[in-house]
Structure 1
Amino acid sequence: MKELNKRHFLNYSILIPYLILSVLGLIIVFSTTVPHQIELGLPPYQLFRNQTIFFVFSLVMIAMIYKMKVDKLRSRGWFGILIPIMLALLFIARFLAPPVNGAHGWIPIPGIGTIQPAEYLKLVSVWFLAATFAAKQDKIKVQDIDALFNRKQFFVNFISGWRLWMVLMVGAVVVMPDMGNALLILISAAIVLATSGISYRWTTGFLKIFGIFSLIALVILKITGGNIIPSIFGSITYVNKRFIAFANPFQDSSDSGHQMINGYYAMSNGGWFGRGLGNSIQKKGYLPEAHTDFVFAIVMEELGLIGGMIILGLLFFLIMRIFMVGIRAKDPFNSMMSIGVGGIFFAQVLVNIGGIAGLIPSTGVTFPFLSQGGNSILILSVGIGFVLNISADEKRRELAEITSKYDLSELSDISLSKS
């Protein structure tokens, strides 16, 4: 008898683009970090080596998650441990760990580098909401949004359940302050909420409110020149600089607009086909954070507009395949979890590209796979592991339904394995 194991249900339309982007990311990390390390007088290959180690560990994590049963992943018992750990790590990062470049959010680990709890919280929050909303499906079908918010006793019930935990998690990221990751958590949470089964009217209503609010905020930033945060709030003055750079980067080219302007120069230098891999000018001390926040500007300089579009095309293909797994899934948890993971990828790309292009204020959000950062590649890979597992689970369920519904002689010698 032929036995079908999980490896037979592996979704290569997700795995292969992931591997290509990850390997390409290692090449870009090598190209952007070596000049940075030499400029600082540090070991040239240290950051590349760390990134490679995290990538190898990420592959191990994908294999481990893929082998797990989805029933175990949807259990809400995980969050009694994970959420308190996340909050404790955020507390340590904010109040006990030393700042990095004047900002909090990283915990140094000897021999490894640093860990950034806010990166992991993005996936934990999506996982938490998907599991919570999946357990409320019967109520949502009857009560719609009241099953999630209980509008009649909103303020009474706010101090318990998933609402309180989400406020605590997002609030802990905001006080870092890390507005970029806080924004990503809110966007991905909103995407999971929109796919929870509530009426589409609520989703469209929230989108209209968000769109109007965003438009008003952008208009205010342009009118005020971005200088809207009083100087007494010294801990977040860097946010004010990003607002000023968004409003008019050339107004202060030596300070607040320096990074944005040099990002423009990098993209302009690349032209259609780029200067060639490793031949960027701006990464050699001109563009700050060329290996993290503004890495795509360097990619455009070295590979040109054509190369940048190919990378974006491959990344959006991966995102769409992740979304399709969620759209086609029949299990509520599988659907919300996959769409939530795709939402993290999608939001991160849009926020990063919007920032370096000057369409929105820069938030410090890294570019998926290409930016240097072991935490980023690890959490993106764990998300991929979840989606691959969910995809295999849905395929196995579908095949099991077909074989039980029809007497197919050609499948009569096939047994299905859940592990």
Structure 2
Amino acid sequence: MKIDKKHLVNYSIVIPYLMLSVIGLIIVYSTTSTSLIQFGLNPFRSVLNQGLFLVVSLIAITFIYRLKLNFLKNGKVLSAVMVIEMILLMITRFFRPVNGAHGWIVLGPISFQPAEYLKLIMIWFLAYTFSQKQDQIAQEDYQALTQKRWFPRNLEQLKDWRVYALFLILLVAAQPDLGNATIIVLTSIIMYAVSGIAYRWFSSLMIGIVSASALFLGATALIGVDTMAKIPIFGYVAKRFSAFFNPFEDLTDSGHQLANSYYAMSNGGWFGLGLGNSIEKRGYLPEAQTDFVFAIVMEELGLIGSVLILGLVFFLILRILLVGIKAKNPFNSMIALGVGAMMLTQVFVNIGGISGLIPSTGVTFPFLSQGGNSLLVLSVAIGFVLNIDANEKRETIYQEAQANYQAQMEKDYPFGSSNRF
């Protein structure tokens, strides 16, 4: 019995994905057309570029969906991908910084951001690593993942997963790209929590992170942002912390973006000003099409419209998490849960930044923000989840068919027969 995967597509994931992608194209046009017209450019320039990436993304999803999952479980393939990613992250230092960060590789008309792809690669790496240790985790709990040294003394100890993860995260943070680094760290913590260890360790980790963040923000408030700016690694983010503490103190510089985000959300009210009628996108709110796109969504569509879009995003995330919860294979489960965690943390960091709940980190909003790299990474992640879901369904059908066949054989031949399927 052979089941074609095209009959196992999870439309509760595909349909929300397509809806959000189309809404994203509309929002990209709305947030970019005005400024493009002001500069005498084609108002459809940005949306056409985003549309091209959407076509590439759909092709990528189709290709990944047809792949055999053994490809993802191949350690040599994963190792090669990680080495290439490390090289790309180091190469970014030789390219011109964008918004103060060396995060982009620009080759003529082609540009890409390696840190975006690291989010998915880290999920793949941790799922592969943790799934190999399920028997040890069942016996030793968290110690199965932390037996080796953080600082290896020989080549054998370099195989510690924490060494690779920490090195890659530091490469991103050094760009500096604290937004993507934050998402990768939070996603990694969630994946560590779902690896099979006791839940109390996840609670302890989260309490530690929240406490450390509170202490850091408190110390920054006491010593002052100006003092923190003198520290080389914090020079770039000092203005973001200044805006976080009081965006209206310096409306012409550090607080300009966040203050105008507040104005945009306030302008929207319950029902918004109407699609395309945003005031803040007309030169008042910088990066209106990327980091602060949801503020423009709230201004144009209002609280009700933005809540509906958020509801669609959360529905997609919940369906992805459900695939991970139902999956019987540990690798499949952790991939799906990792993808859901990545999207959830990205939404949290973006909304937290534009609302002033956390310092702004420059993270885009999934599907709605302009950015082909972000859309492609999300689409590839969706492709992984759809493939995993189809394989889990097919395996369940095979097992049920075999169980029914054996039950029927035992009923027909109660005194013994061949039970081969």
Q: For this structure pair, what is the TM-score category when the shorter chain's length is used for normalisation?
A: over 0.9
Distance, in Å, in 2 between the alignment partners of 1:216 and 1:100 is 30
Given residue 340 of structure 1, which amino acid in structure 2 is its aligned partner? G
Deviates more, 1:221-230 or 1:77-86: 221-230
Is residue 2:263 matched to residue 1:265? Answer: yes
Amino acid at match of 1:317: F
The match for 1:120 is 117
SS in structure 1 at match of 2:228: coil
Q: How does 1:115-154 map to 2 (within 5 A)?
A: 115-150=112-147
What's the counterpart of residue 57 of structure 1? 56
How do residues 364-383 of structure 1 correspond to structure 2 at under 5 angstroms? Answer: 364-383=362-381
2:34 maps to a residue whose letter is P
CA distance in 2, matches of 1:153, 1:4: 46
Is contact 2:176-2:236 (8 Å) kept?
A: no
**1:287: Cα distance to partner?**
0.1
Range with greater deviation from structure 2 (38-47 or 259-268): 38-47
Partner of 1:384: 382
CA distance in structure 2 between the partners assigned to 1:74 and 1:22 by the alignment:
29
Residue-by-residue CA offset, 1:260-303 (whole Å, 9 max, x unaligned) = 00000001111101111111010010000000000000000010
Partner in structure 2 of residue 24 of structure 1 = 23
Please tell me whether the aligned partners of residues 39 and 285 of structure 1 are also in contact (alpha carbons under 8 angstroms). no
Runs of 5+ consecutive residues of structure 1 not aligned to the other structure: 411-419
Instruction: Tell me, yes or no, if the aligned pair for 1:225 and 1:247 is still in contact at 8 Å.
Output: no
> Cα distance 1:63–1:153, how it changes in 2: closer, same or farther (>3 A)?
closer
In structure 2, the CA distance between the partners of 1:154 and 1:138, relative to structure 1 (3 Å rule), is farther
Q: Residues 100 and 236 of structure 2 are in contact (CA less than 8 Å); yes or no, is this contact kept in structure 1?
A: no
Paired AA for residue 135 in structure 1? Q
For residues 379 and 213 of structure 1, the distance between their equivalents in structure 2, rounded to whole angstroms, comes to: 30
Query: Hey, what's the Cα distance between the residues in 2 that align with 1:236 and 1:213?
Result: 17
State the TM-score, normalizing by the size of structure 1: 0.92
Q: CA deviation at 1:214?
A: 2.3
Greater relative contact order (CA < 8 Å, ≥ 6 in sequence): 1
CA distance in 1, matches of 2:107, 2:11: 35
Q: How is 1:145-294 mapped onto 2 (pairs within 5 angstroms)?
A: 145-150=142-147, 156=153, 159-223=158-222, 226-231=225-230, 233=232, 236-294=234-292
What is residue 68 of structure 1 aligned with on the other side? 67
> Secondary structure at the residue paired with 2:101?
coil
Corresponding letter in the other structure for 1:24: I
The C-alpha deviation readout for 1:60-114, integer Å capped at 9, x for no partner, is 00001100111221222222211111111112212x21222333111113333x1
Question: Given residue 70 of structure 1, which amino acid in structure 2 is its aligned partner?
Answer: L
Task: Report if aligned partners of 2:92, 2:104 keep a CA contact under 8 Å in 1.
Answer: yes
SS in 2 for 1:108: strand
Q: Which residue matches 1:335?
A: 333
**How big is the shift at 1:398?**
1.1
Give the conservation status (yes or no) of the 8 Å contact 2:116–2:373.
yes
> 1:100 maps to what in 2?
98
Q: Give the distance between the partners of 1:228 and 1:396, measured in 2 at CA.
A: 59
Q: Which amino acid aligns with 1:302?
A: E
Partner of 2:106, secondary structure, is strand
Q: Distance in 2 between matches of 1:169 and 1:385?
A: 24
Q: CA deviation at 1:356?
A: 0.4
The sequence identity of aligned pairs, in percent, is 53
Provide the aligned C-alpha RMSD in A.
2.0
Secondary structure (helix, strand or coil) at the match of 2:237 reads: helix
Displacement of 1:219: 3.3
Structure 2 residue aligned with 1:90: 89
The amino acid across from 1:215 in the alignment is A
CA contact (8 A) 2:183 2:345 kept: yes
Deviation at 1:129, TM superposition (A): 0.7
Deviation at 1:151, TM superposition (A): 5.8
Larger-Rg structure: 2
**Residue matched to 1:413:** none
Structure 2: segments with no counterpart, 5+ residues: 409-421
TM-superposition CA deviations, 1:224-275 (whole Å, max 9, x none): 5544514252x74230000000000011111000000000000111110111
2:416 — aligned with what?
Answer: none
Question: What residue in structure 1 maps to residue 37 of structure 2?
Answer: 38
Please give the residue correspondences for 1:309-320 in structure 2 after superposition, counting only pairs within 5 Å.
309-320=307-318
TM-score by length of 2: 0.92
Deviation at 1:396, TM superposition (A): 0.8
Structure 1 residue 323: deviation in Å? Answer: 0.5
C-alpha displacement of 1:39? 4.0
Secondary structure in 1 matching 2:365: coil
Bigger mean CA offset, 42-51 vs 294-303: 42-51
* Superposed displacement of residue 343, structure 1: 0.6
Shift of the 158–307 alpha-carbon distance from structure 1 to 2, 3 Å rule, reads: farther
Say whether the 8 Å CA contact 1:221–1:247 is kept in structure 2: no
